[in-house]
Amino acid sequence: MSETRSEEYLIPFIRAMLAQRLSREGFRARVIANALNVTQPAVTQYLKGRRGTRGSAAPAHAENIINPLADKLLKRMRSGLGGLETAELLEAAHQLASLSKGGERAGPPKTKESAKVKASLGVLRERLQLEFKVAERYLELANRTRDDYTKLLLRLIASDSIRHGDIVEQVISWFEVEREFGERFQPPGLELLKQMLSMEDTAAEVSLKRTVDTAHPVAKLLLEWIDADEEKHERIVKQIMRMASRKTSL
């Protein structure tokens, strides 16, 4: 079985595990279906063990990958910030496929850099807790304010903190699962990256803050937020293009 097929084979297994966890937490099948981007009958099949579990042996330590993903999904659902992203599902499947192939997950690498890895993990875990605490606090503030503009701003900040937590959690997972990050890095093709950069250039051509005339101070901040995000996206895509060029030239 190819790597792609093996990962696709694990996706129903991951969804079944997540559906069971969400059900234990008290969510109804309809809500679970929305969170997992599947139909309600599919969720029913997952919960009855008729789909996602038959004919697929769970890799050892699969719970170490699925449980954090379930915790993350629960936080989002309870905060009203959406469900499972396709990229997250595929990444979890990739990690499970790696485990089933021979257990790349052997703990932090026992090399001269182990102390540095341990220190980095400590910093990341502290930041993970902080990001989720900050998100909860901003959501509380959003629920207490009556101004719709301010409510949106507070919820956006909370959403950013949750995304930051998601990123930190993923980096922690990479530290724990992989020994050589650079060996596996496969950037998108240059043609795709050029298309991405072209879209970012188009979006960045017009500054919303400077061109949209609004007297509301929070609306101005939100438009400035979008401008800043577009600049960030363009900068990151350019960095990926440089990495891809270096990888191609090796």
Neighbour count for residue 52 (Cβ, 10 Å): 22
**For the residues 214-227, what does the mean pLDDT come to?**
88
Average pLDDT, the chain: 77
- End-to-end CA distance of the chain, in Å? 29
Q: Which of 23-32, 44-53, 174-183 has the lowest mean pLDDT?
A: 174-183
CB 75 within 8 A of CB 162: yes
What percent of the chain is modeled with pLDDT above 90? 6
Q: Provide the percentage of residues in the chain whose pLDDT is more than 70.
A: 79
Residues 143-189: tens digit of each pLDDT: 888 888 888 888 888 888 877 877 887 787 777 665 545 555 666 77
Confidence label for 3 from pLDDT (cuts 50, 70 and 90): very low
Average pLDDT over residues 126-147: 84
Render pLDDT for 69-84 as a digit per residue (tens, 0 to 9).
Answer: 888 888 888 877 778 8
Cβ burial of 99 (10 Å; 0-12, 13-18, 19+) is buried
Q: What is the pLDDT of residue 84?
A: 84
pLDDT at 29 over 70: yes
**Pairwise CA distance, residues 202 & 150, whole Å:** 29
Name which of 67, 175, 166 is nearest 116 in CA terms.
Answer: 175
Query: Is the pLDDT assigned to residue 14 strictly greater than 80?
Result: yes
Domain locations in the chain as residue ranges:
1-71+81-105, 109-184, 186-250
**SS in 3 state form for 225-243?**
HHHHHHHHHHHHHHHHHHH
